[in-house]
């Protein structure tokens, strides 16, 4: 199987880097010359540029998306004794961020068609300790800003967005990161905007929150050797910021390419509706930045998902599952007290989803090949 020629990789970053490689090398050289590796000039530049791209006032670079959530929540005043509503079908880092902030994650269900946080389930989880809601703009589609604000207003909650998969996503005229008190982004290499290593950012319109994250990321020191709080060491490297400065101007174009690829998939996959195979619903048209393109299989197909993936792999097509086990059923989080059956939509989706190749530069012929082979595999599996 390992000898199979990969015709459609799950992701290919070299396509986006090749045309800008020289510029990136020059930017790296510049940092080496200046030697300002920690909290340097390129970082300050990137913080301003990325915040502006999101339509917010402040950006504070941190070491990862996980830290962006942990430090961002802390800066919003969330910590011990506070409950934070989080969808169960997210990458585990969302939950880790809440726990590192000192708060308690309260896991809630998702909508079956969009895979985004389900507000009815969230409403049922409200207690006197609920302090915030942490929506995840999953796969690159934003949670509806109006619904989110209504919900937060009703229950008097802080909104902190997990925008790690949604750089420059838009819905109802608002960009990811601009809805709530603050938001966390990740620049993990395979994200829509990725560094050459780890990285993250907290964005906010609130200067006090920005200042607080600036202090927390730098040993809790608002100025050198003066420590007003228990901080940590979590900065976005100047080198990574210099690379991201070169990549940022291409981000809209890359997102558009993802959106266009998704439209080609949507159209090509329509005949598979008769086989009960559906793309995760897009309610934000061009505002969806398709970090991932995810489809939902019927229950029978879902039981053979591993085999379907293996057959596709043998045909040179790589797929993924994002994510196979909902957070509330992960061994490390048993202590939170959830059981199988508690969050049925998230549990069902985890078993039924399949992520198809998606990246800027994915060719039409590759999408056609994925669709053609997927259809074959699915028809034969449904018949058997």
Binders of ligand PLP in range 296-355 (CB under 6 A): none
Sheet holding 353-356, edge to edge: 278-279, 293-296, 353-356
Helices (H), the chain: 14-17, 21-34, 41-54, 65-75, 93-100, 119-124, 145-155, 207-216, 238-247, 251-269, 299-303, 305-314, 344-352, 364-383
Q: Among the candidate windows 16-24, 58-66, 113-121, 264-272, which touches ligand PLP by CB under 6 A?
A: 58-66
How many Å apart are CA 117 and CA 88, to the nearest integer? Answer: 8
**Closer Cβ to ligand PLP, 188 or 293, answer by number:** 188
What does the block give as tokens for 144? Answer: 């509806």
* 66 binds ligand PLP, rule: CB under 6 A: yes
Active-site hit among 131, 191, 212, 247: 191
Closest separation in Å from C-beta 63 to ligand PLP: 8
CA distance 328 to 108: 9
Applying CB under 6 A, which part among 144-152, 158-166, 204-212, 306-314 lies near ligand PLP? 158-166
How far is the C-alpha of 6 from the C-alpha of 117, rounded, in Å? 35
Kindly tell me which of 121 and 165 has the beta carbon lying closer to ligand PLP: 165
x/- mask, ligand PLP, residues 260-279, rule CB under 6 A, reads --------------------
Q: Does 209 bind ligand PLP (CB under 6 A)?
A: no
Tell me the CA distances in angstroms from 214 to 47, 72, 197, 205, 220, one per residue in order. 11, 10, 21, 14, 8
Q: How far is CA 18 from the centre of its chain?
A: 24
| Least distance between ligand PLP and beta carbon 190 (Å) | 9
Interface stretch with ligand PLP, choices 160-168, 253-261, 339-347, 374-382 (CB under 6 A): 160-168
Q: Give the C-alpha distances (Å, rounded to integers) separating 300 from 247, 297, 309, 374, 384.
A: 42, 8, 14, 15, 10
Query: Of 38-46, 162-170, 207-215, 256-264, which segment contacts ligand PLP by CB under 6 A?
Result: 162-170
Residue written as token pair 């962006």? 68
Residue selected from 16, 186, 259, 352 as contacting ligand PLP according to rule CB under 6 A:
186
Q: Is 131 a catalytic residue?
A: no
| Residues in 80-139 that interact with ligand PLP by CB under 6 A | 90-91, 93-94, 136
C-beta of 274: minimal distance to ligand PLP in Å?
32
Q: How far apart are CA 87 and CA 110, in angstroms?
A: 6
The residues assigned a catalytic role are 191
Binding residues for ligand PLP, per CB under 6 A? 64-66, 90-91, 93-94, 136, 162, 164-165, 186, 188, 198, 200
């Amino acid at each position: 199987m390992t000898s199979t020629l990969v015709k459609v990789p799950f992701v290919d970053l070299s396509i986006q880097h090749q045309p800008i490689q020289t510029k990136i090398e020059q930017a790296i050289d510049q940092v080496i010359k200046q030697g300002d590796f920690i909290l340097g000039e390129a970082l300050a530049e990137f913080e301003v540029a990325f915040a502006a791209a999101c339509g917010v006032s402040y950006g504070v670079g941190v070491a990862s998306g996980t830290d962006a959530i942990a430090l961002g929540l802390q800066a919003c005043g969330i910590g011990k004794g506070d409950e934070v509503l989080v969808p169960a079908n997210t990458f585990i880092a969302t939950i880790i961020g809440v726990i590192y902030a000192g708060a308690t994650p309260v896991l809630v269900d998702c909508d079956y068609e969009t895979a985004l946080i389900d507000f009815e389930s969230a409403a049922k989880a409200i207690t006197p300790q609920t302090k915030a809601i942490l929506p995840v703009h999953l796969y690159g589609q934003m949670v509806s800003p109006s619904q989110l604000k209504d919900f937060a207003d009703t229950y008097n909650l802080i909104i902190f967005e997990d925008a790690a998969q949604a750089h420059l996503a838009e819905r109802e005229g608002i960009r990811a990161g601009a809805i709530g008190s603050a938001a966390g982004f990740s620049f993990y290499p395979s994200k829509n905007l990725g560094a050459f290593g780890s990285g993250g950012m907290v964005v906010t319109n609130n200067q006090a929150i920005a200042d607080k994250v600036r202090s927390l990321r730098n040993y809790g020191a608002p100025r050198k050797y003066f420590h007003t709080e228990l901080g940590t060491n979590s900065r976005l490297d100047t080198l990574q910021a210099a690379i991201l400065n070169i990549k940022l101007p291409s981000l809209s174009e890359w997102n558009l390419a993802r959106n266009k690829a998704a439209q080609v998939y949507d159209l090509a996959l329509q005949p598979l509706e008769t086989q009960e195979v559906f793309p995760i619903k897009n309610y934000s048209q061009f505002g969806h930045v398709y970090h991932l393109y995810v489809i939902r299989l019927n229950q029978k197909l879902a039981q053979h998902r591993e085999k379907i993936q293996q057959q596709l792999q043998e045909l040179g097509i790589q797929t993924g599952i994002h994510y196979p086990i909902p957070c509330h059923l992960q061994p490390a989080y048993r202590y939170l007290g959830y059981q199988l059956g508690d969050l049925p939509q998230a549990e069902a989706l985890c078993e039924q989803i399949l992520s198809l190749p998606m990246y800027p530069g994915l060719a039409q012929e590759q999408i056609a090949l994925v669709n053609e082979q997927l259809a074959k595999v699915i028809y034969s599996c449904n018949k058997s």
